[in-house]
Amino acid sequence: MNITAFPYDLFLLIVAHLSPSDLVLARRVSKAFHLAFTDSQLCLHLLQQHYPRVREVRDVANEQGEDWSRVFSRVAARYHYLKLGKPRSVEKFALGKSFVVPKWARYYPVSTWHQLLKFEEKAAPFHYPDPLWTYSDGVLVFPSIDAQKYMLYDLSNGSLGEFDFQPESKIVRRIRLKDNVLVVEWCEQEAYHQLNESEMVYRHFATAYNLTQNVQNGNTHTSSHYALYLWQPNRSAWGEDDPIEALAVWDISSPSDYRPSEDPTGRGNYITDSDGPKVIRRFSFADMDFYRIRQRSTPTLRALELDENHVYFIEEDHRWLVGPEAAHNHARLHKVKSVGIPFAAGPHWMDECGANGDANISYCERDLNNRHPRFAPCWRHEASRPSAAEVRADKVMQEFPYLTTSEALDPKAGVKFSARHCFLLETISINVKSKIDMVGPGYEAALMDDMWPQLLNKGKICGDERWLIGENSSQEVVVLRFDEEPLKRR
């Protein structure tokens, strides 16, 4: 039966019942089928029917003259591999790291809290060191050992370009990319002065680069603000004083040519109220006590976040935390908390969750799809959500003690990668809600077991519906592609 010879309305009714894979395979039946099933307008209609949340459909108004037949094939293949939990291709880039030579790759990471999870004889990490790569909106920045320099990699078109921030004269502490602004936190190679017989003091700086305009300004975390928290053990000879803490927020929306690293005395600082980065709020010990964010000798700080008007203090505690900086009185199970503080005067915001913490160690019943920093990160104690059938059959995997180490979320596409562990179990799952009106968890797949050491050596994954990025134990940044590889990388 040649359905392509049917009236077009009847043909569309039949096509609506075919799966995406059937629609692509139908092109091979005959010339008539190929002509019908590669019609550009039909393929656009089928894209909007099967994959209404993908980026290609969201940008349809800007795609004039697009070959929707090819786009449909690409998207169908992408979600085929996502459902299988299998990457279409894998890329690896060796990272350049050193303490002494070569100079361009000198790196000394920011220390993490000395805490880990321990239960009986089993132990698992709770904090990971920052990776020496960063990703945002399809752009990966990393120090390439092959190119012997820092590189910008546009994953969508496969282009690699050099990013020169003169690393030969710096010791990099951390790099971070967000809102098209790359922040390089670094210190000088030579000590500023001798603190005592065994310790030296190094001056630290943060330099921000606008990747779209090539403008260098002060310090940043979003495109307009930068927040910095400092914690340092007190050097009291008697050891009775709490650590030294500081929190400050900068407005860096106005660029400046002034370089404090080139002016140790500060005499050349000619910045006015309207020129260059400026501190808009500093927090004293009294301020931090008032907002209940002072960490003292048992820190629970997990991260800092910003929006247009607030800085958020994200804290986390767990009943199985041990270590010299772990608290003595832990949360009953797993507690997450967010404290939002305005840049100017006004009420502050606090939200916390203890994963319910009842006698049955039940699920956190909150909406775990919220990712705004004003909400406590409940996704950290999220395991696979149960289906209605599992609840009725009492076959529910408990949240506790499962911990979501990291996630890569593409909320517009409805795709989420979650990396979870619990001592003896490590898994990376993919949850896809391809239609916005889907209820329940969508369909879920798991990557192969050997993917954890390939991606989670630094406890961080990034990506979107097209790819997933992490770091392996061989100091390589790994890119799992669910899309076809771009032409420039083939």
Per-residue 3-state assignment (H helix, E strand, C coil) for the chain: CCHHHCCHHHHHHHHCCCCHHHHHHHHHCCHHHHHHHCCHHHHHHHHHHHCCCCHHHHCHHHCCCCCHHHHHHHHHHHHHHHHHCCCCEEEEEEECCECCCCHHHEECCCCCCCCEEEECCEEEECCCCCCCCEEECCEEEEEECCCCEEEEEECCCCEEEECCCCHHHEEEEEEEEECCEEEEEEEECCCCEECCCCCEECCEEEEEEECCCCEEECCCCCCCEEEEEEEECCCCCCCCCCCEEEEEEEECCCCCCCCHHHCCCCCCCCCCCCCCCEEEEEECHHHHHHCCCCCCCCCCEEEEEECCCEEEEEEEEECCEECCCCCCCCCCCEEEEEEEEECCCCCCEEEEECCCCCCCCCCCCCCCCCCCCCCCCHHHHCCCCCCHHHHHCCCCCCCCCCEEEEEEEECCCCEEEEEEEECCEEEEEEEECCCCCCCCCCEEEECCCCHHHHHECCCCCEEECCEEEEECCCCEEEEEECCCCCHHHC
Taking residues 145-170, report their average pLDDT: 94
8 A C-beta contact, residue 91 and residue 489:
yes
State the pLDDT at residue 459. 95
Q: Please check whether residues 34 and 176 belong to one and the same domain.
A: no
Tally of structural domains, the chain = 2
Asked whether residue 271 carries a pLDDT value surpassing 60, the answer given is: no
191 assigned to some structural domain: yes
State the pLDDT at residue 214. 38
Asked whether residue 275 carries a pLDDT value surpassing 90, the answer given is: no
439 assigned to some structural domain: no
183 assigned to some structural domain: yes
What are 43-98's pLDDT values in tens digits?
999 999 999 999 999 988 776 778 999 999 999 999 999 999 999 999 999 999 88
Taking residues 443-472, report their average pLDDT: 93
Distance CA 126, CA 421 (A): 10
Q: Please check whether residues 279 and 369 belong to one and the same domain.
A: yes
411 assigned to some structural domain: no
8 A C-beta contact, residue 183 and residue 207:
yes
305 assigned to some structural domain: yes
State the pLDDT at residue 304. 95
Q: Please check whether residues 9 and 39 belong to one and the same domain.
A: yes
Q: Please check whether residues 269 and 391 belong to one and the same domain.
A: yes
Taking residues 264-272, report their average pLDDT: 68
Asked whether residue 423 carries a pLDDT value surpassing 90, the answer given is: no
State the pLDDT at residue 368. 58
Domain end marker among 22, 54, 84: 84
By C-alpha distance, which of 165, 172, 163, 129 is closest to 144?
163
Q: Please check whether residues 171 and 285 belong to one and the same domain.
A: yes
What are 398-416's pLDDT values in tens digits?
445 678 889 999 999 999 9
Confidence of residue 274 (pLDDT cuts 50, 70, 90): low
Domain end marker among 25, 55, 84: 84
Distance CA 277, CA 252 (A): 4
Any idea which of 14-18, 294-298, 314-318, 357-361 has the lowest mean pLDDT? 357-361
Any idea which of 117-121, 130-134, 288-292 has the lowest mean pLDDT? 117-121
Angle between helices 40-50 and 8-15 (to 10 degrees): 40
8 A C-beta contact, residue 378 and residue 396:
no
Q: Please check whether residues 360 and 312 belong to one and the same domain.
A: yes
Angle between helices 40-50 and 68-84 (to 10 degrees): 30
Whole-number Cα distances in Å, 56 to 44, 305, 393, 440: 10, 30, 40, 25
What are 87-97's pLDDT values in tens digits?
999 999 999 98
By C-alpha distance, which of 235, 212, 128 is closest to 174?
128
Q: Please check whether residues 94 and 117 belong to one and the same domain.
A: yes
Side chain identity, residue 126: F
State the pLDDT at residue 196. 81
Q: Please check whether residues 115 and 242 belong to one and the same domain.
A: yes
Find the domain containing 110 and state its range: 90-399+475-489
457 assigned to some structural domain: no
Any idea which of 166-180, 375-389, 465-479 has the lowest mean pLDDT? 375-389
Side chain identity, residue 75: V
8 A C-beta contact, residue 450 and residue 46:
no
pLDDT > 70 fraction of the chain, expressed in percent and rounded: 86
Q: Please check whether residues 59 and 153 belong to one and the same domain.
A: no
Q: Please check whether residues 64 and 96 belong to one and the same domain.
A: no
Domain end marker among 84, 106, 126: 84
Asked whether residue 489 carries a pLDDT value surpassing 70, the answer given is: no
Q: Please check whether residues 105 and 155 belong to one and the same domain.
A: yes
280 assigned to some structural domain: yes
Q: What is the mean pLDDT of the chain?
A: 86
Any idea which of 150-159, 171-180, 395-404 has the lowest mean pLDDT? 395-404
Asked whether residue 389 carries a pLDDT value surpassing 50, the answer given is: no
Asked whether residue 187 carries a pLDDT value surpassing 50, the answer given is: yes
Q: Please check whether residues 14 and 95 belong to one and the same domain.
A: no
What are 203-260's pLDDT values in tens digits?
999 998 888 643 333 233 478 899 999 998 887 666 668 899 999 999 888 888 888 8
437 assigned to some structural domain: no
Residue reference for tokens 């010990």: 285
